Amino acid sequence: MGSRKLKCLALLLASGGVLALSSTPAAAQGDFPAITEPRPIPPPERQAPAGAPNVLVVLMDDVGFGADSTFGGPVPTPNLDALAEQGLVYNRFNTTAMCSPTRAALLTGRNHHRVEMGSITQLSVGEAGYTGMIPSSAATFGRVLQLNGYSTAWLGKNHVTPAWEQTVAGPFDRWPTGLGFDYFYGFMEGASDQFNPVLVENRTAFEPDHTEDYILDRDLADRTIAWIERQQAAAPNKPFLVYLAPGTAHEPHQAPQEWLEKFRGHFDHGWDVERERIFARQKELGVIPESAVLTPRPDVIRAWDELSSDEQRVSARLMEAFAAQRAYFDDQFGRIVDTLKQRGEWENTLVIFIDGDNGSSGEGGTGGSMLGLMNAPAETIDYQLENIDRIGGPFHAGNYNVGWGFALDTPFPWFKQVASHLGGQRAGMVVSWPARIKAQGELRTQYGHVNDIAPTLYEAIGITPPDVVDGVEQSPLDGTSLVYSFESADAPSRHNVQYYEMLSNIAIYKDGWMASRVPPKLMFAPSYAPPQHWELYNLEEDFSQAFDVAAKHPEKLAELKGEFYRQAESNGFTLLDTFIPARASPAMRPDPFAGSQMLTYRRGEGPILDSAFPSVNNRSWSLSVQVAVDDAGGEGTIISQGGFPYGWGLYVFDGYPTFLYVNEPEEALRLSTPKPMAAGTHALTLSMTPMDEQPGGPAMVTLQVEGQEPVSRRLEHSVRAFWGTTGVGIGREVGAVMLPGMQKPFAFTGSMGPVTLSLED
């Protein structure tokens, strides 16, 4: 541009006028007409309906119908109690019986197989209904509300994004921000450590600032409050949607020490007595009818009196940790409620609080667990007693006994995963909307399902769900709005048919009747296999599913069995009659690292999600890295994955390169070089080679500093599959540390080049 035009541009900017840069004289162009009455810029097209409420959807994890005081349980939840006292309590609300499927059905308003979530994402297979990949033809309520003028946020547990799509390369359309949420803050997997999580904010993995008193549930409440306040400051006339999904009360059961102390001795009487107490409280509260019958404990679950005194001591402590965690979250939920009230937003906020994404968990097994989902060699009672004071703290990753899981689903039979029975399906729900729902503390007995929530939101807000979203034709909603029940306790149920299938446990509900195939398949007791048959229940007369009436009504049973298979065909799946062992192989799912033989990682990349790192389980692998140290020899983490109770890493301790492998309850393997590193540059290599083909079998580990003799050690038991959810750190420790006494970030004090990981097929 010439100097004359630059001068003209400067004059334009100084005067605020309009200038056309042209070599044609202005007189030849004519004068521009003056704008005497500027028109206002029109508002955005996406505006919520007038008076649309804010929305807060809370989904708890593995709680159980009879766990919380709101539903007669032993865990005090005063803030949920208060919500129930001013709102509506639903006692016939149901889930899919497991985490990912319930969340997919909740978000989309469709049946879980229709949206390809026939199981949790970690068990996805290449069969219709089970791929774990929510289709674009099933927009979430987040996206629909976003298109209708809402700000949207999702905080807490994800567990619907396929593991193979969780790398920084995406794709991101099934991440929360791709599913219609403006903001995401939480964890991607099915569970999280409360004290040392690795989280994702929008699309970025990070580790929250670690303070001595950090705990995830408080962090989630803080972030929820902060997001609401920022959103309201930026757009005070724009309603918001918050979907809050804490990891509580999924394992690991962890809580602040002062909350653990609140429950000391509260469960020494055991699960059989507690179940009777819950049942009595439920009738006293009126959350179950007087005619309800307490279903018997099946023989596959031990009686409390059959446990030794040592087993009872450990089991009671495990239940204390669960109670402390659940009660602590209730306290944090109360802070969110207080914020909404202080801001004047409470009256026009629709709160839907679903007290569990399935029944309580039986995954702790007969003896309970301090170490999580059956990944390690069996825990002994001696190990549990020796480590009893770790329960509920940062070096505890487990779950209560199956007996407690059964008790917390009172009065129903069975628990999580068992979709054939109400113990797996049924969850308490509380709905509050002071500006619209005038009834206070009333019970609602209409049959409902988690796929009802999306249509309920649409009707309550005044939205017609679009036929096309982002250019994709939408599949019909399967759920039925529950708004009709807001004003009427006596209105008949409108959700009349619902099938259930989870890990081959199946049932069908129709017009008050339920047919269930038994016995269920049980993770904690895979050999439990009495003769298989179908049972029939009249749930209108038999609230707790206690009386099999199949012999009296064979024609009704035949009708319902036929209905199940019609529903399966309509929802696009064929019953996949295999249980967990046949579906757990990683070979059943895509691998973003398939064919990769060498990968490079550099210091400073931040935490890497476990799903975004290649699997090193049950295969030969090696790594190499060049480090430079001073006269002190160096200290800190080179690379680590996982932490207590399962993890591995290459470290330098006092100048000694060291391989550390933790697979509790075994003693940690610690392999160090015979001499520390002198000042200078050194090449380190580490390799691990399985010694048989069985997952979790022995392996040989070799560590070498260039120029020195290698050192090797036999590892008797390797980790079978699961490293936890605390990520991979390069040059520093992330997530849970391997052993007590290690202090994060334990960053490597020397300099280091890239870590090269080599994999064999």
**CATH code (residue 616):** 2.60.120.200
Find how far residue 295's CA is from the centre of its chain: 30
H-run or E-run covering 326: helix 309-342
Q: Is the pLDDT of residue 17 over 90?
A: no
- Backbone torsions φ then ψ of 53, nearest 5 degrees: -80, 155
pLDDT digits (tens, 9 = 90+) for 376-410: 457 899 999 999 999 999 999 989 999 999 999 99
CA distances from 128 to 26, 117, 144 (A): 69, 10, 25
Average pLDDT, the chain: 92
Tokens of 635: 């200290």
Q: Assess whether pLDDT exceeds 60 at residue 561.
A: yes
What does the radius of gyration of the chain's CA atoms come to, in whole angstroms? 29
- CA-CA distance, 497 to 450, in Å (whole number)? 13
Q: Are residues 603 and 733 in the same domain?
A: yes
Q: Which has more confidence, 28 or 427?
A: 427
Residue given tokens 């999306």 in the structure block: 454
Residue 470 domain-assigned (yes or no) = yes
Q: Which two structure tokens, joined as six digits, stand for 3?
A: 């100097």
pLDDT band at 12 (very low <50, low <70, confident <90, very high): very low
What are the pLDDT digits (tens) for 204-220?
999 998 788 999 999 99
Number of structural domains found in the chain: 2
Which of 487, 506, 541 represents a domain boundary (last residue)?
A: 487
DSSP secondary structure code for residue 78 in this structure = H
**399 and 251 Cβ atoms separated by less than 8 Å:** yes
Give me the pLDDT at residue 2, please: 47
DSSP three-state, residue 758: strand
Residues 288 and 167 in one domain: yes
Judge if 302 and 447 occupy the same domain: yes
Rounded-to-integer distance, Cα 642 and Cα 683, Å: 24
Contacting residues for 382 by C-beta, under 8 A, at least 6 apart: none
Task: Give residue-wise pLDDT tens across range 616-625.
Answer: 988 899 999 9
Report pLDDT for 336. 98
- Residue 720: the pLDDT is 78
Q: How confident is the model at residue 27 (pLDDT cuts 50, 70, 90)?
A: very low
Judged against a pLDDT cut of 50, whether residue 4 lies above it is answered with: no
Rounded distance between C-alpha atoms, residue 68 and residue 71, angstroms: 6
Q: What tokens were used for 493?
A: 């149920």
What residues does 505 pair with on adjacent strands? 502
Q: Say if residue 722's pLDDT is above 80.
A: no
pLDDT tier at 18 (50, 70, 90 boundaries)?
A: very low
Helix (H) or strand (E) holding 580: helix 580-583
Residues 455 and 601 in one domain: no
Instruction: Decide if pLDDT at 104 tops 90.
Output: yes
475 and 608, same domain (yes or no) = no
> Among the three residues 458, 487, 516, which one is the final residue of a domain in this structure?
487
Structural domain contains residue 519: no
Tell me what the mean pLDDT of segment 677-689 comes to. Answer: 96
Q: Is pLDDT above 70 for 23?
A: no
Do 104 and 222 belong together in one domain? yes
Read off the CATH number of the domain in which 195 is found.
3.40.720.10
Q: What is the pLDDT of residue 3?
A: 46
pLDDT score at 22: 43
Residue 150 amino acid letter: Y
In a domain, 308, yes or no: yes
Give me the DSSP letters along 127-187: STT-S----TTS--HHHHHHHTT-EEEEEEE---S-GGG-STT---TTSGGGTT-SEEEEE
Query: For residue 373, what pLDDT band results from cuts at 50, 70 and 90?
Result: low
User: pLDDT digit string (tens) for 120-136?
Assistant: 999 999 999 999 999 99
Domain that includes residue 668, residue range: 593-759
**What sections of 365-516 are H helices per DSSP?**
381-386, 402-407, 422-425, 453-461, 484-487
pLDDT of 137-158, one tens digit each? 999 999 999 999 999 999 999 9
- Cβ contacts of 189 within 8 Å, gap of 6 or more: 158, 159, 163, 610, 611, 725
Element housing 726 (H / E) = none
Same domain, 599 and 483: no
Q: Is position 268 within any domain? A: yes
507 found inside a domain: no
On whether residue 725 sits in a domain, the answer given is yes
Distance CA 641, CA 730 (A): 9
Task: Judge whether 502 lies within some domain.
Answer: no
What is the token pair recorded at 92?
A: 């016939």
Type of residue numbered 520: P
Q: Which of 439, 457, 487 is the last residue of a domain?
A: 487
- Tell me the HSE value of 666 on the side-chain side, using a 13 A CA sphere: 19
Q: Do 478 and 604 share a structural domain?
A: no
Whether 541 maps to a domain, the answer reads no
Contacts of 640 (CB under 8 A, 6+ apart): 647, 648, 649, 650, 651, 660, 728, 729, 733, 734, 738
| pLDDT 10s digits, 432-474 | 999 999 999 999 999 999 999 999 999 999 999 999 999 999 9
Out of 16-25, 100-109, 362-371, 651-660, pick the least confident: 16-25
Per-residue model confidence (pLDDT) at position 29: 54
Q: Write the pLDDT tens digit of every residue in 511-542.
A: 999 999 999 988 888 888 888 999 999 999 99
